[in-house]
């Protein structure tokens, strides 16, 4: 199968994600590199209106080539829901010191980070740019009720926190 060339990443584009087993999931392009992933795993194609009505599952940074190389197909376009227009907070954990930090543009004057507690970080996603294959694996695992090795690898190491 030949993939389309030069697909542009455009905010609002709706994406279909083939899970390689007859199922698909959907997502929406937000401000680069953020993508909004919707809850639901489907055997049939959804309309853009149906996709836009799905609840958000998670919001992650994703490598642009998932879209620009055509791995995830653009199936429509819609305005982002108000809650998905807001930039999410992410957490980081220093590999040497174990210290936690919040990552967000509101901390631009301090290298986009500020020190954080475990409680502030627990419900957040790790600040990482995901490969599309890892997202697909995470989605399959989610819908099959299994844990994701990719999500586990990015969990906070509580024992390392000073």
pLDDT in tens, 64-95: 999 999 999 999 999 999 999 999 999 999 99
The mean pLDDT value of the chain amounts to 95
Residues 6+ apart with CB under 8 A from 135: 17, 37, 60, 62, 66
What's the whole-model pTM score?
A: 0.92
**What is the rounded CA–CA span in Å between residue 99 and residue 115?**
8
Residues 6+ apart with CB under 8 A from 109: none
**pLDDT by 10-residue block (mean), the chain, 162 residues:** 70 96 96 97 95 96 95 96 95 97 94 96 97 98 96 96 95
Alpha-carbon torsion (35, 39, 43, 47), positive or negative: negative
The confidence score (pLDDT) of residue 6 equals 74
Helix (H, G, I), strand (E, B) or coil at 46: coil
The confidence score (pLDDT) of residue 15 equals 98
pLDDT in tens, 138-149: 999 999 999 999
């Amino acid at each position: 199968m030949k993939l389309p060339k030069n697909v542009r990443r455009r905010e609002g584009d709706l994406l279909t994600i083939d899970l390689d087993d007859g199922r698909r999931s959907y997502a929406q392009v937000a401000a680069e590199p953020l993508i909004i992933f919707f809850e639901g795993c489907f055997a049939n194609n959804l309309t853009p209106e149906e996709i836009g009505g799905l609840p958000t599952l998670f919001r992650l940074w994703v490598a642009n080539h998932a879209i620009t190389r055509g791995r995830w197909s653009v199936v429509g376009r819609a305005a982002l829901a108000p809650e998905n227009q807001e930039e999410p907070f992410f957490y980081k954990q220093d590999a040497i010191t174990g210290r936690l930090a919040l990552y967000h543009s509101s901390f631009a004057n301090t290298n986009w980070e500020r020190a954080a507690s475990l409680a502030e970080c627990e419900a957040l996603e790790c600040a990482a740019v995901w490969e599309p294959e890892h997202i697909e694996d995470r989605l399959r695992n989610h819908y099959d009720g299994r844990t994701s090795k990719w999500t586990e690898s990015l969990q906070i190491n509580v024992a390392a926190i000073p």
